[in-house]
Structure 1
Amino acid sequence: MTNFEEDISVYNFVSILGECFQNKASVNLVKHYPTGRMLAVKRFHLDKIWDNISIVQQEITLTKQLQHPNIITYYTSFVHGPEVFAVSPLQAFGSCKSLLDSHFNEGLPELAIILIFKDIIEAVNYLHKSGFIHRAIRASHILISASGKASLSGLHYACPLVINGRWQRAVHSFPLSTQPNLNWLSPELLEQNLKGYNEKSDIYSLGILCCELANGREPFADVDSTLMLVEKVRGCIPGLLDCTTLPSKCDDRECQGDCDIEISLSRRGFSQYLHEFCYMCLEREAKDRPSAAELLTHPVFTLVNKGISLPELLKPVLPLSDKVSPNKEMCHLDHVLHMSEMDMPSCDWDFPIS
């Protein structure tokens, strides 16, 4: 097993991939000198994250505690000067959110969605059996490796189901930072009532994720947060937008902008299995939703042949490792530190802490 040292000198910083943790941290592409491997390193400046240092510690601890092939891992983490560094495998295709933004504005191919969901539900099932609720399942927290393996990140939003050695039927804690995740949260979590919520709230988030991957953006994307909450509590169930749920044309010429998007989506067609899968996850009542283990037996997964790979379905997108040019490497950390102070746009590489 490769040993990744807690020593900044063995990591050659190549470029900055983007920002995360509400722009208080950055994700960097690095080359590990001893092995020549390309890795991702997340840098947290202690001065910027001091108020959230416990969340960062929880993220690192939980990520190291959970061991599953479809949950992002940290090879090592260490402090260097005023910063915390966390080293993880390079997810060469980035996040699903970055794929939607850059190449698949109207949604991913159905088979790609199914392959991604197979991996992510495996991760969610493991997470629930380990006694945790994720509470932030969305496209920006789904990372894709060069081989096409999907991994779940964003674990700093997670909360335990086991408290003082006892498995709780429901929890009542509300995530400290919810704004980025509001549209994906379940009605019972948003209500914050005495009934509380359980791991089935993650199943609802999977349903919203399904809509997001299929249509390019999540339901309620342009809706006021209060109205979104009211609609969810009333029992409004979103669904996939395709030729079976949208009209093929619009006669109102004044709404051309939005209608162009809807007409484009209406030309797509998803299988009945995927529609059913999505609807099951988005049931208003948590008790009516299947568990993650039950979702793994859904017939939607029979649509994928073993010979189909996710990288093939994502073409023309290339994994990042194929784009890296050795002559663009930055050999000194000083250059990276200088660049991190510049006003750089994020490329939506949401690694575990975002």
Structure 2
Amino acid sequence: MAAPSSGPSGSARRWPSPTPRSPQPPSPSPSLNSSTPTSPESQFLAQKSPNSIMKDLVNKAKDSGRNTRTRPPPQQPTLLDLITQSDTDTQFQDKLITNPNNGHHFKTYRNIGSSGGASTVCSGIYWVNDANELQTMQPYDLYVAVKVTNTGDQEERAKLADQINNTRPLDHPNLLKVKEEMLFEDKFWVVFPLMDGSLRCLLNSVFSNGIPEDFIAIVLKEVLEALAYLHQQGHLHQELNAGHIYYNCRMPAIKIGYLATIYEPKSGGDEQELPESPPLPVGNICEWAAAPEIYYSTEEYSDKSDVWLVGITALELVFGGIQVRDRRALELLIAEVTRKEKGYIGKGKAKAKAVGKFVKKLMRKVKIGKAGSGSSSMSRAFKKMLALCLTVDSQERPTAAALLQHDFFKICDGTFDVYDFRNAVESAKRERATLVGTLSGSDAVGTSSGTNAAGTSSRTNAAGTSSRTNAAATSTGTNVAGTSSGTNAAGTSSRTNAAGTSSRTNAAGTSSRTNAAATSTGTNVAGTSTGGNVAGTSGGSVAGTSAGGNVAGTSAGGSVAGTSAGGKVAGTSAGGKVAGTSAGGKVAEGAKP
């Protein structure tokens, strides 16, 4: 059923209306040799080749995805993407690991985050080697995240082992739960489901101005259900924030990380513009934004302290992040947001100007609603929910279970849920892509900021990044287009080339075929390169044009470097001279002042 056309405030929502949900996909039955050797090692070697196995897995994932929705494929990479992705910064690329406890195989592919600076988190897949097991698995069970800790770090290893033992009995669909753990090659490996990223990643990339309230309600409802379960089981989270809430678009889900499954994903998006005063570090938000009884050390941590963090998370989501310079600024921000509701911090009207321009920016973001919010300001229901969470007296805060009954969550009545959130995320990502370039194939379009037009990307390319009043290069084929900054136009790249980088008020050279176009600095025009050549570097000048298999001259000062044709090297020009032209099998002389 489609989502309601208005948010809690009654105003029309600007986000695209979601499509109806379809039933969950069936599980296909790939054909594999069902014979099972006696040992895990012989079992692994006796079956089909790894490539054949992976082909079966890919087909299984593709078949199951055909009936999920009529929308374009979600953003999470396919198995083939995971196989072909590389990350030279990680030692765990293409690493096949075996759990000595049960013979399960996992293959890691690239670094996707870290945990506390002591552990690396990689994406990977469950390397299935049993036909019967494969037939009973959902394709999404194949994707895993693997946290790797050196066994030499005894403190971190002991901490992880203790966390896993404490959470093993827990079972809730909204908790990111450990699948298995093992000691392998002097490292401690923890395996859990792979998610697309954290909500903070979304805020840093497509929702820098905040998420509309309707969808915040969906997120917080899932979070509160998991939190209420934890509290019922006698657990306290203590680290709840937007960075520890993870989403999945392939199989729509919102889960909170807890203890061993908490990690900081690589954002992959643009960083938000920083305010004039340095903000408090977002990675420590659970410390500087902790409940008053914890921050001021007046009470022990309780389930009500977790509820306070739900309110802080709600502020993160609606503002697109919280950037304040100190605790006082945070408290004034909370007072401004909740001042007319029961339970607000402080007495009287707290002026936004009291905390400086950075708080004003946050307030303007909500009122403008650039992210597509359906209301011109926060709804009354949302403010009341915030006020309850952010009540100074912990005894007056509701429990997580009681908060679920609040009017703010009435929109989540079974017809508006995580599937609609998934649709909204995908729509917003596509919407953003159209603002920075035309996206086709499996490309990354350049990022545009200011009054610029980012490059167009097609096939398997990365278009240039544009900032200020520039036009970034167009990339086609398997190329990387130049980066443009200032008031410049970066070169155009085609086929397997790298176009020049342009800075200031210049135009970088155009590159075609298998060439590298020149780099331009100052107020210059770098040479054009064709064939298998390298065009000259220009500084204050016009660099030579290169054709054939040549290297055009380097020009510096107010000079013109020579033109090179054939298999030659054109002269170097410095000062106010003109370097010679080279043709045939010659080398032109350099011109000097």
TM-score (normalised: structure 2): 0.43
The answer as to 2:149 corresponding to 1:44 is yes
What are the superposed Cα offsets for residues 187-225 of structure 1, whole Å, 9 maximum, x if unpaired?
A: 1112223x434211111111101101111113xx32235
Asked if the contact 2:98–2:184 (Cα under 8 Å) also holds between the matched residues in 1, the reply is: no
**In 2, distance between residues paired with 1:156 and 1:314?**
27
**Residue type of the alignment partner of 1:71:** L
Q: In the superposition, relative to structure 1, how do residues 149 and 45 fare at CA in structure 2: closer, same or farther (>3 Å)?
A: same
What are the superposed Cα offsets for residues 116-166 of structure 1, whole Å, 9 maximum, x if unpaired?
A: 1111101111111111111111011111123332111132699xxxxxxxx
Alignment of 1:1-354 (within 5 A): 6-7=99-100, 10-18=105-113, 20-34=114-128, 35=134, 37-47=142-152, 49-91=153-195, 93-146=196-249, 147-155=251-259, 179=284, 181-193=286-298, 195-218=299-322, 221-224=323-326, 227=328, 231=331, 237=335, 239=337, 262-268=363-369, 269=375, 270-304=378-412, 306-308=414-416, 309-316=420-427
Q: In the superposition, relative to structure 1, how do residues 239 and 260 fare at CA in structure 2: closer, same or farther (>3 Å)?
A: closer
Q: CA RMSD, aligned part only?
A: 3.6
Structure with greater Cα Rg: 2
CA shift, 1:110, in A, is: 1.4
CA shift, 1:297, in A, is: 0.8
Q: In the superposition, relative to structure 1, how do residues 215 and 85 fare at CA in structure 2: closer, same or farther (>3 Å)?
A: same
**Residue type of the alignment partner of 2:169:** Q
Q: In the superposition, relative to structure 1, how do residues 199 and 30 fare at CA in structure 2: closer, same or farther (>3 Å)?
A: same
Q: In the superposition, relative to structure 1, how do residues 191 and 302 fare at CA in structure 2: closer, same or farther (>3 Å)?
A: same
**Residue type of the alignment partner of 1:239:** V
Q: In the superposition, relative to structure 1, how do residues 237 and 200 fare at CA in structure 2: closer, same or farther (>3 Å)?
A: farther
Asked if the contact 1:58–1:156 (Cα under 8 Å) also holds between the matched residues in 2, the reply is: no
Question: Which deviates the most, 300-309 or 198-207?
Answer: 300-309
Asked if the contact 1:41–1:87 (Cα under 8 Å) also holds between the matched residues in 2, the reply is: yes
**In 2, distance between residues paired with 1:156 and 1:30?**
17
CA shift, 1:58, in A, is: 2.4
**In 2, distance between residues paired with 1:10 and 1:263?**
51
State the secondary structure of the residue aligned to 1:40. strand
**In 2, distance between residues paired with 1:22 and 1:15?**
18
Question: Structure 2 stretches of 5 or more lacking a match?
Answer: 1-96, 129-133, 263-282, 340-351, 370-374, 431-441, 444-459, 461-593
Asked if the contact 2:177–2:193 (Cα under 8 Å) also holds between the matched residues in 1, the reply is: yes
**In 1, distance between residues paired with 2:190 and 2:429?**
25
CA shift, 1:9, in A, is: 7.4
**In 2, distance between residues paired with 1:191 and 1:199?**
17
What are the superposed Cα offsets for residues 10-66 of structure 1, whole Å, 9 maximum, x if unpaired?
A: 212222212x2222212111121214712111111223x433333212222233221
CA shift, 1:109, in A, is: 2.0
**In 2, distance between residues paired with 1:224 and 1:45?**
36
**Residue type of the alignment partner of 1:223:** R
CA shift, 1:291, in A, is: 0.8
**In 1, distance between residues paired with 2:384 and 2:307?**
14
State the secondary structure of the residue aligned to 1:135. coil
**In 2, distance between residues paired with 1:154 and 1:316?**
29
Q: Percent identity?
A: 22
State the secondary structure of the residue aligned to 2:176. coil
| Number of the residue aligned with 1:345 | none
**In 2, distance between residues paired with 1:154 and 1:238?**
31
Asked if the contact 1:105–1:216 (Cα under 8 Å) also holds between the matched residues in 2, the reply is: yes
**In 2, distance between residues paired with 1:314 and 1:81?**
39
**In 2, distance between residues paired with 1:198 and 1:307?**
33
State the secondary structure of the residue aligned to 1:140. helix
Q: In the superposition, relative to structure 1, how do residues 50 and 192 fare at CA in structure 2: closer, same or farther (>3 Å)?
A: same
CA shift, 1:263, in A, is: 3.2
CA shift, 1:307, in A, is: 3.8
CA shift, 1:301, in A, is: 1.4
**In 2, distance between residues paired with 1:318 and 1:5?**
37
Question: Structure 1 stretches of 5 or more lacking a match?
Answer: 159-177, 242-249, 329-354
Q: In the superposition, relative to structure 1, how do residues 131 and 228 fare at CA in structure 2: closer, same or farther (>3 Å)?
A: farther
**Residue type of the alignment partner of 1:291:** T
Asked if the contact 1:238–1:282 (Cα under 8 Å) also holds between the matched residues in 2, the reply is: no
CA shift, 1:296, in A, is: 1.1
How many aligned residue pairs are there? 280
Q: In the superposition, relative to structure 1, how do residues 108 and 148 fare at CA in structure 2: closer, same or farther (>3 Å)?
A: farther
Q: In the superposition, relative to structure 1, how do residues 305 and 238 fare at CA in structure 2: closer, same or farther (>3 Å)?
A: same
**In 2, distance between residues paired with 1:240 and 1:313?**
28
**In 2, distance between residues paired with 1:9 and 1:130?**
30
Asked if the contact 1:120–1:152 (Cα under 8 Å) also holds between the matched residues in 2, the reply is: yes
**In 1, distance between residues paired with 2:409 and 2:308?**
19
**Residue type of the alignment partner of 2:321:** R
More helix by share: 1
**In 2, distance between residues paired with 1:66 and 1:31?**
24
**In 2, distance between residues paired with 1:240 and 1:83?**
48
CA shift, 1:317, in A, is: 6.0
